[in-house]
Amino acid sequence: MPSAPHSPFALRRRVRRFGTLPWCAGLALVSILTASPVLAQDITFTATGAPQPYTIANVQPDVRGLAPGMGEAEARAALAKAYPASRIEATKATITYLSDGVAFRSRPVLTQMTAQASGPGTQEEVTLSFGLPTTGSPLLGIQRRVDFGSSAAAPQVAPLVGQLIEKYGPPSFRRGEEAAPVQSLIWVFGTGKVQPCGTKAPCPAVSATFAIGRLDSYRAAVEEKQDLLIQVDLIVQAGGRVRSFKTTLADNRGAVASYEAAQSQIVAAVDARAARQGTAPETPKF
């Protein structure tokens, strides 16, 4: 997705790893927080609806059984099924909104899960990105990377591409022929069907990471009928075998629903504080 414009949002992440909870700063605006704005209140996001499932004829819009819109429990169960020997790590973050010198901070919310696996001649990692509790913390982004350290374990390009087309349908765009060392297949889904790209209009960049500060970018993508994006990148070695491949899925429609609901709840909190203080609230900039 395009880079975000200046935003009043900042993130602080809490990573759950090996029993410790180190804090690290996220996004450029954390430097503004060090100016010690008044911390007005914590915001607890409340659920206002559930994500709409995708219904696309003859298409399975998932990655290893992980589908956009899954909640935390369902996604964790799907991860455990796909990677039974892997330890699942979860990341939480607080979202801080700055308005007229006052910081409004959310309670920690789930942002990511990761899992890793290895097998004979293979290494695999998957990262999941989630929306906010306003729509049930839905799964919005998936990135899966598989590396083949052994030629014996590496699949041939043609059968792998055939499986992808069987699963997702004909791609919107394909970059690189079968013998090319670097290849990409991109699927753009909107209004319930695949949409073209790469000819009259460039194909969108596909990223599995999401942030409320990029809400306008997700809105623009949905307006362009780019509700759901899937990209598969292949690195091909000699002999036509795949050295590695990466699958990236991004649910722009789900991001718009989740973040618009959160924006409304944040604005309501800002307005409520202004009413208590007897002052006119600053117009929030998202």
Q: Do the Cβ atoms of 230 and 204 come closer than 8 Å?
A: no
Torsion sign (Cα): 153, 159, 162, 163: negative
C-alpha distances (whole Å) from 36 to each of 10, 22, 26, 98, 282 are 14, 21, 17, 11, 19
pLDDT averaged per 10 residues, the chain (length 286):
53 38 30 45 88 91 97 96 94 89 89 94 96 97 95 91 96 90 97 90 93 96 97 93 97 97 92 78 55
Residue 274, class by beta-carbon neighbours within 10 Å (0-12 exposed, 13-18 middle, 19+ buried)?
middle
Phi-psi region of 149 (alpha: psi -120 to 50; beta: other; left: phi over 0): alpha
pLDDT recorded at residue 283: 56
C-alpha distances (whole Å) from 150 to each of 123, 156, 232, 238 are 10, 13, 21, 13
Query: What 3-state DSSP class applies to 142?
Result: strand
Q: Is this structure's pTM higher than 0.75?
A: yes
C-alpha distances (whole Å) from 178 to each of 148, 236, 237 are 18, 9, 11
Phi-psi region of 100 (alpha: psi -120 to 50; beta: other; left: phi over 0): left
Q: Which residues, listed in sequence order, are joined to residue 117 by a DSSP beta bridge?
A: 124
pLDDT recorded at residue 11: 56
C-alpha distances (whole Å) from 83 to each of 72, 113, 116, 246 are 16, 13, 8, 17
pLDDT recorded at residue 279: 62
Q: In sequence order, what are the residues at sequence separation of 6 or more whose Cβ sits closer than 8 angstroms to the Cβ of residue 11?
A: 26, 27, 30, 93, 94, 95, 96, 111, 211
Q: Which residues, listed in sequence order, are joined to residue 228 by a DSSP beta bridge?
A: 189, 251
Query: How many CA atoms, within 13 angstroms, populate the side-chain half-sphere of residue 240?
Result: 9
State the DSSP string of 5-51: -S-SEEEEEEE-BTTB--EEEESTTHHHHTT--EEEEEE-------P
